[in-house]
Amino acid sequence: MIIACLLAVILCVALFVVIGGLALFYLSKQSILWGFIPEGQIVVIMEGGKVKEYLSRINGFWTNPHTGENFEVAKMTPAQIREREKTEDEKSLISKFLENYLGLHWIGIWPYCRRYEYRFKWNKWSRKEKSSEYELIPRDEVVNSLYFKFTYPIRMEGLETKGKVPLDVTILINTRITNAERALFKTSDWLASVTGAVTAVVRDFIGAKELEEISGESHENNSNGFFRDIMILNDPNIGNPSLNKMFGIVIDAVNFIGYEISGEDNARLQKASTEKYVAAQEAEAKAIRAKGNAEATVTEATGKATAIEKLAEAKAKATKLQGEADADAAEREKKAKGVNADVAMADAIKNTGVTTLILGQGIIPTLPLKDEKREEKHEP
């Protein structure tokens, strides 16, 4: 009997836990009493028609629950750190338990306390099914959160170039929410306002360019005029107040996706533009070839002139060496003749039996003296 009672109690407890868990999950999905905060999103909790707090789940960032302002944790000032610690101390035990162990945030008694919902219109940049191409999909829905960072495509139609060619231009902007209160409650539609500011900049940029120049626009290039002009919207020191001050957002990056010639004359203008572009490219190619030929001709002529100059130098040097060799040979021949003459005279003197007397600077041949003893005649 006791064992049966214990089993019944255990079964009831298990059933309660299961039913409670399912109820908890369902209520959290409906944001009743408590709810999950999706990663990278900001949620506003309303209480009796007024903002109660701003909740977020952003890695590396903290959202002030009272002002909706977002701060990068690594760059927070001592005052901001103290404010964060103060707001943590204000949370109830149940809120801390739900957040730390279940990842849930306490919302309050529904429907007095609930998540803020609003209608939001935007364009989504989505990949086509079974394709590597992307397309722009308009969206118009009731949402109950705000993305901290998101990429929004913007399509602007009928922008005229310097040559009065109408274009439909598509770009992507990467936005980051800096102040949720300013974005949601200080302007009627923050994305529409940002789109208008960006469109004005792009219109001016396109209007100052020819179609061929726009074709060379690159993506996310900091030195690029297109990118630079849009990023200036973040700077409060240039022109109007910054996007942060007006709408609570900043633009982190821009991509120029492309353009199409708009209107009924699209095909004709596209063909004319293509022909003009091809003609310009061919003219440039011809100019490059002509320049290359001219440089080759100059190089060849320079080479020939250098070769002629080197040949002349070689001939002059050879002539000089030949002259020196001839002069040296003549000198050697002269000396050889003198030596031969001396040798001949010496031989002549030797053969004639003369002797030589060296007086001063000359050589004087003398007759031989008779040996008296040799000339004595002996009588028989």
At 185, list the tokens: 């409650």
> What local confidence, expressed as pLDDT, does residue 354 receive?
46
Of residues 106, 112, 111, the one with CA closest to residue 24 = 106
Q: What is the mean pLDDT of the chain?
A: 76
At 170, list the tokens: 């598509």
Residue 365: pLDDT over 70: no
Q: How many Å apart are CA 306 and CA 299, to the nearest integer?
A: 10
Q: Cα dist. 79→58, 82, 86, 179 in Å?
A: 20, 5, 11, 18
Read off the pLDDT of residues 128-143 as tens digits, 9 standing for 90 and up: 877 777 888 899 999 9
Residue 41: pLDDT over 80: yes
> What local confidence, expressed as pLDDT, does residue 101 receive?
74
Q: How many Å apart are CA 349 and CA 71, to the nearest integer?
A: 127
Question: Between residues 372 and 202, which one has the greater pLDDT?
Answer: 202
SS (H, E, C) the chain: CHHHHHHHHHHHHHHHHHHHHHHHHHHHHCCCEEEECCCCEEEEEEECCEEEEEEECCCCEEECCCCCEEEEHHHCCHHHHHHHHHHHHHCCHHHHHHHHHHCEEEEECCCCEEECCEEEEEEEEEECCCCCCEEEEEEEEEECCEECEEEEEEEEEEEECCCCCEEEEEEEEEEEECEHHHHHHCCCCHHHHHHHHHHHHHHHHHHCCCHHHHCCCCCCCCCCHHHHHHHHHHCCCCCCCCHHHHHCEEEEEEEEEEEEECCCCHHHHHHHHHHHHHHHHHHHHHHHHHHHHHHHHHHHHHHHHHHHHHHHHHHHHHHHHHHHHHHHHHHHHHHHHHHHHHHHHHHHHHHHCCEEEEECCEEEEECCCCCHHHHCCCCC
Q: Which residue has the tokens 């002002």?
A: 67
**C-alpha torsion 222→225→231→237, nearest 10:** 110
Of residues 147, 196, 193, the one with CA closest to residue 174 = 147
User: In the predicted model, what is the mean pLDDT of residues 271-279?
Assistant: 64
Verdict on whether the full-model pTM lies above 0.85: no
User: In the predicted model, what is the mean pLDDT of residues 262-282?
Assistant: 65
pLDDT tier at 355, thresholds 50, 70, 90: very low
Read off the pLDDT of residues 139-161 as tens digits, 9 standing for 90 and up: 999 999 999 999 999 999 998 88
Domains of the chain, first to last = 31-115 (no CATH), 121-268 (3.30.479.30)
At 281, list the tokens: 């490219």
> What local confidence, expressed as pLDDT, does residue 301 receive?
61
pLDDT tier at 304, thresholds 50, 70, 90: low
Read off the pLDDT of residues 226-268 as tens digits, 9 standing for 90 and up: 788 888 888 877 666 789 999 999 999 998 888 888 776 666 6
pLDDT tier at 376, thresholds 50, 70, 90: very low
The bridge status of strand 33-36 relative to strand 104-108 is antiparallel
pLDDT tier at 282, thresholds 50, 70, 90: confident
Read off the pLDDT of residues 3-31 as tens digits, 9 standing for 90 and up: 777 777 677 777 766 676 666 555 555 56
Residue 68: pLDDT over 70: yes
Question: Between residues 209 and 336, which one has the greater pLDDT?
Answer: 209
Q: How many Å apart are CA 271 and CA 261, to the nearest integer?
A: 10
Say how far residue 111 (Cα) sits from the centre of its chain: 52
pLDDT tier at 176, thresholds 50, 70, 90: very high
Specify whether the CB–CB gap between 105 and 35 falls below 8 A.
yes
User: In the predicted model, what is the mean pLDDT of residues 55-64?
Assistant: 92
Residue 362: pLDDT over 60: no
54-58, 193-197, 208-212, range with the lowest pLDDT: 208-212
Residue 270: pLDDT over 90: no
Read off φ and ψ for residue 81, nearest 5 degrees.
-65, -40
Specify whether the CB–CB gap between 38 and 57 falls below 8 A.
yes
